[in-house]
Amino acid sequence: MLTVNFDNLFKVYNQDPKHGVSTPELENYKTQFDNYKDKILSRKQGFLDLGEQNIQHILDYAASIKNKYTDIVILGIGGSMLGPVTILDTLKKQETPKVHCLDNIDPDLITKITDTISLQTTLFLVQTKSGGTPETLAQYFYFRDILQTANLEIANHFVFITDPEKGYLRKIANQQNIPSFEIPDNVGGRFSVLTPVGLLISALVGLDIQKLLNGAKDTKTRFFDETNFEAYYLAVSQFLLSQKGKNINVFMPYSSRLKTLANWYTQLLSESVGKKLDLNGNQVFAGITPLPALGATDQHSQLQLFSEGPHDKLTLFLEVEKFENQVKIPTLWQNDDNLGYLENKTFNQLLAAELAGTKASLTENNRPNITLKIDKINEHSLGELFMFLEISVAFLGELLNINTFDQPGVERSKVLAKEILIKFSS
């Protein structure tokens, strides 16, 4: 079960109020929970309901093509790619099919994947919410051309994951009977990991997608519908600390399998709360900058900055209570008292000690930190994390009085890119 520990936030406050948050400060916001919850509901965003969706059509399709393809290539960018990559990096175990994530339009990467796969046994998942993302369409056109040149049946090698009604891909799917799955109209790209964007590839590699959804559903019930305020308190803490100059949030899982979750959260937080205008049309230039890190790796690169650099950061640790494997550290030294602390220890204990030491050292230096903790890594716990972080970001947007669910800055860059391309061709 996902839990959140705010104790070090309070300890820092007791040491120096300008760097932490107190229990009364959080409690003062408790009476406003229902108000902010109602505001979120008024936005009519569908991500909250994804834990209860019917997934039979995804399971049926996955079963119908089982063992048919040796390779799967995902074409997408942003939220249409970060979610699937996070799931695969965290949970995928089986060797086949091999999954290639084409998350950029880098020509060298495109060529590398092309040279790696066998077209006859490759399935391409084309994932874009709008159905018109230029990077993804360009990837699609490239691989479609290669398949047509090889005289392969297009409908046997492509699946579209896109808008139910609108966009270029939806039109082509309808005209050419290409298999397709829908991203609900009221679910934005960065909130789409628990739609077919993430669920289809999960089913195709043998993961239990119902458990993913159960984790999300349980979390929504605990942290949104019932009286557990931890997701809300995380948002309140981020909000209050941003007013105290802590506008950088370090997201630091202590598990290599969860490293990509930090990248997923980077997009979720960045695009959701980085806004020029508030809901009243005032220029506010709101935002909290996410900074992904990995424990214990980044104790040897970024921790010096976190500990003694500017007082502008809140660190969110993600702790795993029980790893799948327990590995003992061999005792290969002789008569060296300086290494005695490793005797009869495991890597599990070493990692736990380093996490505890890092939290303690940051707290001693008046650096606020909060710990999210899961009991183990599996489909259910990852579903919990996805929904918890999405709910918390939704609350944070309401606290900042901005539109959490649009992305005008991103859209403007797309317009300018198209104008530049037109000039290239003239």
Q: Would you call 165 a catalytic residue per the annotation?
A: no
Burial of 414 (0-12, 13-18, 19+ CB in 10 A): middle
Q: Strands (DSSP E) along 38-83, which ranges?
A: 71-75
Place of tokens 């590995």: 327
Token pair, residue 244, equals: 């105290």
Token pair, residue 53, equals: 């969706």
What is each CA distance from 298 to 8, 103, 106, 301, 302, in whole angstroms? 20, 24, 28, 5, 5
Torsion, Cα 268 270 271 275, to 10 degrees, reads 140
Region of 83 (left: φ > 0; alpha: ψ -120 to 50; beta: rest) is alpha
Q: Which of 271, 319, 384, 390 is catalytic?
A: 271
Listed in sequence order, the DSSP H helices in 92-195 are 107-116, 134-149, 168-176
Q: Which of 44, 93, 300, 423 is catalytic?
A: 300
Gap between the Cα atoms of 81 and 102, Å rounded? 8
Gap between the Cα atoms of 278 and 292, Å rounded? 26
Gap between the Cα atoms of 204 and 397, Å rounded? 35
Q: Would you call 27 a catalytic residue per the annotation?
A: no
Torsion, Cα 106 112 117 122, to 10 degrees, reads 0
Q: Would you call 271 a catalytic residue per the annotation?
A: yes
Gap between the Cα atoms of 411 and 408, Å rounded? 5
Enzyme catalytic residues: 271, 300, 414
